[in-house]
Amino acid sequence: MDDKNKSATSASDLRRDIRVPIDDEVTIEIAPQNIVGPDKNVSAQGVYFTTTASVRVNVRIAGQSASVPGELVRVESMGDGTIGIAVRFRQ
């Protein structure tokens, strides 16, 4: 089969769990910890580095009775002054 006829696999096809839209406020509490890793680059405006450390958080979704432990897995600029934050639940 040539590349033109291969079906593309989207990221949503690779997800293990179904995602459900919500319209509630989400709060994360970041556990106090030091995160250490090698410097990749630095400028007067900031620093970029990598780490193997787990960034542990607690997630509370409005209307839920308890917070859920999680791990911060991604933070990205949405380009409009907001940021997207992804947390993997640790239960």
Is the pTM of the predicted complex or chain greater than 0.75?
Answer: no
pLDDT of residue 84: 95
Rounded to an integer, what distance in angstroms lies between the CA atom of residue 74 and that of residue 63? 24
Which pLDDT does position 10 carry in this prediction? 56
Distance CA 29, CA 6 (A): 43
Contacts of residue 86, Cβ cutoff 8 Å, sequence gap at least 6: 72, 73, 74, 75
Distance CA 17, CA 6 (A): 25
Q: What average pLDDT values come out for the chain (91 residues) when binned by 10 residues? A: 48 74 92 90 94 93 93 92 94 71
pLDDT at 11: 56
| Residue-wise burial string across 36-57, b where 16 or more C-beta atoms lie within 10 A, e elsewhere | eeeeeeeeeeeeeeeeeeeebb
Distance CA 63, CA 90 (A): 20
